[in-house]
């Protein structure tokens, strides 16, 4: 990636200031000083170094605190890239000393970019859509964490005052709109008992599309199993409706974010390309695009699979260790997106289901079979992104191998 660049700038970015180290093609330091988080001074440095020739500016954090230097570098005509944190930590072990300073980190970034360009990742130019998508995805992730925390609080409170009632709301039942409406309206076991089964059932029927009678029966059966009142029950039943209301508000905000993401992806061609593949919806497409952009940073589908952590790792050491093992490294968000989409496809897409069933017949467990399917689908995703083409299932009787590739 550094071929043809006369100068490589390593920028260790910070909240209020950065440290820049500029090296020429021979490794000579042209600049090595701290800089403030200021457009004018960044522009002055990048423009001055362009006198030596083409400039590549490399950061260790392309988002948030690194966004301004990237925007300024591009505006003055410099190429930009970033060095992933894991690659930088491994590269740092190759240099003498164990000190951790901004100046040392900036030099390591620049020298690694100069001598090991394969470690660099491109910074996507579709900045408007992807940058906005990253903000919304980050906000949605925060909302998801807050929702989980609030639900766990409700579960803890119910366990404290009425364990039998908490057991009724197993799995995702607690997060359903009907249960949240019941808790917000009646508070908890005391409020539900005071209301009675008939009133609770009437309320539930006005707040549910399905018949809620079975759930109400389980609730009141659980209520009958405990006759004592645990201390602080009254205080807990003051808190539960408020937390249930918070969960409903958080869920509404997540729904709004999902609509905004969907509207944003309508103007992003590669999103529709990805969603043409079985098992990939709006959220999964957004996660894939956030992780790899247009995919041009990867030379082959194998590189993409390795980055995602779904390519098997070969381990061999004499005669004691042999074989292939699941990768433990990789981009976790991308790996989860590819795994989830493969799992969905194994249920709804006949070609993917055939491949999944074949792997299970070979003796692989569920997760291993889904990972194998995700790896095969990665080949197709890579080709779709590279060529900008929609998914096309095979129209003839395919061989097992071509079937796998199409899945």
pLDDT digits 0-9 by tens, 198-251: 999 999 999 998 999 999 999 999 999 999 999 999 999 999 999 999 999 999
pLDDT digits (tens, 9 = 90+) for 97-126: 778 899 999 999 999 999 998 888 877 655
Asked if residue 21 has pLDDT above 90, the reply is yes
One domain, residues 172 and 248: yes
The answer as to whether 110 is a domain residue is: yes
What pLDDT does 317 receive? 58
Q: Residue 116, SS3?
A: coil
One domain, residues 277 and 401: yes
The answer as to whether 85 is a domain residue is: yes
pLDDT digits (tens, 9 = 90+) for 260-272: 888 888 777 888 8
Q: What is the mean pLDDT of residues 314-343?
A: 75
The answer as to whether 1 is a domain residue is: no
Rg for the chain (alpha carbons), in Å? 27
What pLDDT does 316 receive? 59
What pLDDT does 407 receive? 42
Rounded CA-CA distance 360/352 in Å is: 12
What pLDDT does 280 receive? 94
What pLDDT does 17 receive? 92
Burial class (CB in 10 A: 0-12, 13-18, 19+), 214: exposed
Domain that holds residue 158: 134-262
One domain, residues 78 and 159: no
Asked if residue 63 has pLDDT above 80, the reply is no
Torsion (CA) 359, 365, 366, 368 in degrees, nearest 10: -70
For all residues of the chain together, what is the average pLDDT?
A: 88
What pLDDT does 405 receive? 42
What pLDDT does 358 receive? 94
Query: What would the two tokens of residue 145 be?
Result: 């964490």
The answer as to whether 2 is a domain residue is: no
Select from 65, 94, 123 the last residue of a domain: 123
- Give 218-281 as a DSSP string: HHHHHHTT--S--TTHHHHHHHHHHHHHHHHHHHHHHHHHHHHHHHHHTT-HHHHHHHTSTT--
Share of the chain above pLDDT 70, in %: 91
Q: What are the φ/ψ torsions at residue 364 (nearest 5 degrees)? A: -80, 145
One domain, residues 157 and 31: no
Evaluate if pTM is beyond 0.75.
no
Q: What is the mean pLDDT of residues 127-143?
A: 82
One domain, residues 198 and 235: yes
One domain, residues 276 and 386: yes
Are 57 and 82 in contact by the 8 Å Cβ rule? The answer is no
Query: What would the two tokens of residue 358 be?
Result: 């074949």
Rounded CA-CA distance 17/45 in Å is: 14
What pLDDT does 401 receive? 44
What pLDDT does 241 receive? 97
- Going by the DSSP 8-state scheme, the letter that residue 317 receives in this structure is B
Select from 228, 262, 296 the last residue of a domain: 262
Rounded CA-CA distance 323/336 in Å is: 24
- 319-341 burial string, b = 16+ CB within 10 Å, else e? eeeeeeeebeebbeebbebbbbb
Query: What would the two tokens of residue 99 be?
Result: 């000190």
Rounded CA-CA distance 221/209 in Å is: 23
Question: In the sheet where 17-24 sits, what is the strand order?
Answer: 29-36, 17-24, 7-12, 55-59, 79-82, 121-122
Rounded CA-CA distance 239/136 in Å is: 30
The answer as to whether 295 is a domain residue is: yes
**Residue 185, domain CATH:** 1.10.287
The answer as to whether 129 is a domain residue is: no
Query: What would the two tokens of residue 290 be?
Result: 């956030």
Rounded CA-CA distance 43/28 in Å is: 22
Asked if residue 400 has pLDDT above 60, the reply is no
One domain, residues 161 and 107: no
Rounded CA-CA distance 70/194 in Å is: 62
Rounded CA-CA distance 10/19 in Å is: 8
One domain, residues 77 and 166: no
**Beta-carbon neighbour count of residue 226 at 10 Å?**
14
The answer as to whether 350 is a domain residue is: yes
The answer as to whether 277 is a domain residue is: yes
Strands (E), 6-114: 7-12, 17-24, 29-36, 55-59, 79-82
Select from 90, 123, 156 the last residue of a domain: 123
Q: Looking at the 3D structure of the chain, how many domains does it have?
A: 3
Asked if residue 370 has pLDDT above 90, the reply is yes
One domain, residues 312 and 254: no
Asked if residue 278 has pLDDT above 80, the reply is yes
**Residue 47, domain CATH:** 3.30.420.10
One domain, residues 93 and 145: no
One domain, residues 41 and 89: yes
Which residues lie below 8 Å from residue 105, measured CB to CB, with a gap of 6+?
A: 10, 12, 19, 60, 88, 92
One domain, residues 160 and 223: yes
pLDDT digits (tens, 9 = 90+) for 81-93: 989 888 888 888 8
What pLDDT does 118 receive? 85
Rounded CA-CA distance 373/344 in Å is: 11
Query: What would the two tokens of residue 68 be?
Result: 């301004």
How many distinct helices (H) and strands (E) make up the chain? 18, 8
Strand partners, 33: 20
């Amino acid at each position: 990636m550094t071929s043809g660049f006369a100068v490589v700038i390593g920028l260790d970015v910070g909240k209020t200031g950065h440290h820049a180290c500029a090296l020429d093609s021979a490794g000579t330091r042209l600049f090595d000083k701290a800089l403030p988080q200021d457009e004018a001074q960044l522009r002055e440095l990048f423009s001055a170094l362009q006198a030596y020739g083409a400039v590549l500016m490399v950061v260790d954090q392309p988002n948030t605190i690194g966004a301004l230097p990237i925007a300024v570098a591009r505006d003055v005509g410099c190429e930009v890239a970033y060095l992933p944190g894991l690659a930088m930590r491994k590269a740092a072990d190759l240099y003498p000393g164990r000190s951790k300073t901004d100046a040392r980190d900036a030099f390591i970034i620049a020298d690694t970019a100069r001598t090991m360009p394969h470690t660099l990742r491109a910074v996507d130019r579709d900045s408007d859509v992807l940058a906005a998508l990253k903000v919304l995805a980050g906000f949605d992730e925060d909302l998801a964490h807050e929702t989980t925390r609030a639900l766990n609080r409700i579960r803890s409170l119910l366990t404290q005052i009425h364990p039998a009632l908490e057991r009724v709301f197993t799995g995702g039942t607690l997060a359903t709109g009907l249960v949240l409406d019941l808790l917000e309206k009646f508070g908890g076991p005391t409020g539900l008992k005071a209301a009675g089964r008939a009133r609770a059932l009437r309320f539930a029927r006005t707040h549910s599309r399905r018949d809620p009678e079975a759930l109400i029966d389980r609730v009141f059966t659980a209520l009958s199993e405990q006759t004592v009142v645990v201390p602080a029950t009254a205080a807990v039943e003051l808190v539960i409706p408020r937390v249930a209301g918070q969960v409903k508000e958080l869920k509404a905000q997540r729904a709004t974010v999902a609509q905004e993401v969907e509207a944003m992806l309508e103007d992003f061609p590669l999103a529709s390309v990805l969603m043409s593949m079985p098992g990939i919806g709006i959220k999964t497409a957004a996660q894939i695009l956030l992780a790899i952009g247009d995919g041009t940073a990867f030379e082959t589908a194998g590189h993409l699979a390795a980055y995602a952590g779904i390519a098997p790792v070969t381990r061999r050491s004499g005669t004691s260790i042999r074989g292939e093992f699941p990768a433990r490294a990789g981009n976790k968000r991308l790996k989860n997106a590819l795994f989830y989409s493969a799992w969905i496809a194994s249920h709804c897409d006949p070609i993917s289901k055939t491949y999944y069933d074949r792997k299970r017949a070979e003796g692989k467990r569920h997760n291993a079979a889904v990972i194998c399917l995700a790896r095969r689908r990665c080949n197709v995703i890579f080709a779709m992104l590279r060529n900008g083409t929609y998914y096309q299932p095979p129209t003839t009787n395919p061989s097992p191998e071509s079937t796998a590739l199409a899945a």
